[in-house]
Structure 1
Amino acid sequence: MIQFADDNTKQQVWDMWKTVFNDPDDYMEVYFRWKYLNENTLIYIEDGKAVSSLQMLSYQFTFCGTEIPAIYLSGVCTLPEYREKGYSRQLLIKSFDVAAGRNVPIILLVPQEEWLLRFYDKLGFARTFDPGAEALPSLKELTQKYPGDLYAAFREFDSLFRHKDVTVQKSFDDFYAMVEEAALFGFPPKKNLMGMARVIDAHRLISIFAERYPQTAFSISVRDELLKVNSASFTVVGGEARRYSPPEKSLFHANIRKLAQLLFGYNTLGDEEPFSAVFPEKVPSMSYMLE
């Protein structure tokens, strides 16, 4: 049975996280104090206890020059003795329904191991973020530059990222948690993370793309094995996107994974014509996610 966590199951979620990830208690205290919310935590109940869980963290995401809400999945885990029963998969699919109900058009995550790329791919996630090679701005240097004024440090940090497209943005509370977490480990260098995206509302994202590129005209047929509402044809012209179902004859054909990569501009210069001519290449970035 799937449900949201509550005050009676919060400790079970903590214990499960500790069992699966074995993170230090001081890190977990920071995470659960700043990021954990019962209403953003899905759990699977069996034998009267929580045996699988995930967190749906809220962020803003700059997409085609517009900030949209995004869910970042964190702490996806199942107790060892309850694995290979499909519980995580069921929780992930439920998170898609929650995102749609909250009008969140995109879900993001950072797979911690290579095999997870294949697991999430089966659920419609696509790799859309590459790991960075260069160190990002030092949180330690920023806070030392503005002693006693963390908000001033945040304003400078924010100025470095707020204008960047296809980028996860941070609030002041996010920044506060980032600094506190980094301090626990001596402010290690941070780089952009390798990550994946799952389109929840194809029409909304294509509409934002159309508005950003009003001179672009094309039609695309999208296939989504899990979220049937996304399986349709979309015509983009004059800055608007129109949805047609059943699908019409389209110039482009893409599954939901490819659609995410096209809209994010992920390695689109390497695509064949006419994809590369229609979807400008960009550098999606996701970082400082309390990883």
Structure 2
Amino acid sequence: MGKKQQIMELWKQNFQDPEDFIQFYFKKKYSNENALVYEENHKAVSSFLLLPYPMSWLKTVILTSYISGACTRQEARNQGYMTLLLKEALTKMNKAGVVLSTLIPAEDWLFKYYNKLGYASVFDYSTEIYVPDSIPHDFSFQVTSPTTFHPEFTTATYRFFSQAMEHRICCIQHSYEDYMAIIEEAYLCGGRLLTISRNQEIKGWGLAIPQANHTFIKEILWENEPCKKALLQQVFNIWPNKPIICKLPPYGPHYHSYGMARIINAQQMLKQVSKQNPGLTLTIKIDDPQLSFNTGIYKLSQGECQKIKPTGTTTDAETDIPTLTQALLGYHPEQLPFPLNHLAPAQQPYMNLMLD
């Protein structure tokens, strides 16, 4: 059995995905180069894919790697195989120039497991329930929503989607190829892509999936509030008599934990922080048990970041990788100790549409 087939079999053992989704996912996302497998006696026992994604962060774009489909053969669980494979992946990501790793834990208890390997919870989301009311909406928009996957229409909507996503700071971005796969997969699930336009210019975009008791909007983008309401009304017109639940970037006090991130190359990220804050002078000691090259003392000064010798050096802060990850991504800095809470502005890291 080949490498790809073995990984697919592990996927089927661990996840309850329908066969058409599995075939679609491996057709669109799998390559031998991005697949990591731990084998014993020429048999795969643990595996996952490493998928590259750009991420907007601090006025620049960094390369991230998303760990997808991490799983272990049932009879081989709790024997450390996944931990060994993840440590191998961290080194591989660094060699590939990746500065940040991301993942979405399949179960809540896995947040603690990944935290031990340096990952921190940073990606959240909020939900909003929409039920149409009696207030008149603006119906002057042109609505387009093909009932089947339409490549030409999907291509025509990518520019609006990508520009709207790029305006979100600290956000995982999607290439054109990835975008096409996202929309096609939604149609496999009975969903629809919708846009509202005026004068042939898109003003709102939504990706909706019907569920048993509601309609779920996986992502919604709009130019202004009237556009948002008009788009939601069109979703309701397609699937009437059901409330609409929208997934949104986190806001306010109520949000849900979703994904995790881990710094792969601390110096590269600290260099960007120093570059954008040339007046910042700070000496940080970092401990990274999994990636020893990150361990050390870093001095940020005059827009530069240098790794310095520890002899006789006084530090302003000491931190581990999970805390540093939260600090550099601006994740709830009010909960972080000084001076780590001043390394990046408060942000709302966001990751969505990962075919999870």
Match of 2:279 among 209, 215, 221: 215
What is the CA distance between 1:142 and its match in structure 2? 7.5
SS of alignment partner, residue 90 of structure 2: helix
What is the CA distance between 1:274 and its match in structure 2? 3.3
Asked if the contact 1:269–1:280 (Cα under 8 Å) also holds between the matched residues in 2, the reply is no
Match of 1:102 among 80, 96, 99: 96
Q: Which has the higher strand share?
A: 2
What is the CA distance between 1:36 and its match in structure 2? 0.7
**Paired position in structure 2 for 1:155:** 159
CA distance in 1, matches of 2:335, 2:290: 28
Note if 1:15 corresponds to 2:9: yes
Asked if the contact 1:53–1:76 (Cα under 8 Å) also holds between the matched residues in 2, the reply is yes
**Paired position in structure 1 for 2:333:** 268
Note if 1:253 corresponds to 2:318: yes
- What code does the residue aligned with 1:173 have? E
SS of alignment partner, residue 96 of structure 1: helix
- What code does the residue aligned with 1:49 have? K
SS of alignment partner, residue 289 of structure 2: coil
SS of alignment partner, residue 131 of structure 1: strand
- What code does the residue aligned with 1:254 have? T
**Paired position in structure 2 for 1:138:** none
- What code does the residue aligned with 1:183 have? Y
Deviation string for 1:210-241 (max 9, x for gaps)?
A: 11222322221111111111111111122111
TM-score by length of 1: 0.90
**Paired position in structure 1 for 2:198:** none
**Structure 1: which 5+ residue stretches go unaligned?**
1-6, 136-140
In structure 2, the CA distance between the partners of 1:285 and 1:134, relative to structure 1 (3 Å rule), is farther
CA distance in 2, matches of 1:158, 1:49: 41
What is the CA distance between 1:205 and its match in structure 2? 0.6
Percent sequence identity over matched residues? 34
- Paired residues for 1:62-141 under 5 Å: 62-134=56-128
Asked if the contact 1:55–1:75 (Cα under 8 Å) also holds between the matched residues in 2, the reply is yes
CA distance in 2, matches of 1:116, 1:184: 28
Q: Which has the higher helix share?
A: 1
SS of alignment partner, residue 194 of structure 1: strand
Match of 2:308 among 239, 244, 248: 244
- What code does the residue aligned with 2:185 have? E
Match of 1:176 among 175, 180, 184: 180
- Paired residues for 1:37-52 under 5 Å: 37-52=31-46
| Number of corresponding residues | 279
**Structure 2: which 5+ residue stretches go unaligned?**
130-142, 192-208, 210-216, 219-246, 250-256
Match of 2:50 among 39, 48, 56: 56
- What code does the residue aligned with 1:12 have? Q
CA distance in 2, matches of 1:269, 1:131: 19
CA distance in 2, matches of 1:258, 1:75: 25
What is the CA distance between 1:278 and its match in structure 2? 4.2
**Paired position in structure 1 for 2:260:** 196
What is the CA distance between 1:133 and its match in structure 2? 2.4
**Paired position in structure 1 for 2:214:** none
Asked if the contact 1:224–1:256 (Cα under 8 Å) also holds between the matched residues in 2, the reply is yes
Deviation string for 1:145-169 (max 9, x for gaps)?
A: x973322211111011113221111
Larger Rg: 2
Asked if the contact 2:273–2:343 (Cα under 8 Å) also holds between the matched residues in 1, the reply is no
What is the CA distance between 1:287 and its match in structure 2? 0.4
Asked if the contact 2:327–2:336 (Cα under 8 Å) also holds between the matched residues in 1, the reply is no
SS of alignment partner, residue 126 of structure 2: coil
CA distance in 1, matches of 2:273, 2:37: 35
- What code does the residue aligned with 1:174 have? D
- What code does the residue aligned with 1:275 have? L
In structure 2, the CA distance between the partners of 1:208 and 1:28, relative to structure 1 (3 Å rule), is same
CA RMSD of aligned residues (A): 2.0
Note if 1:279 corresponds to 2:279: no
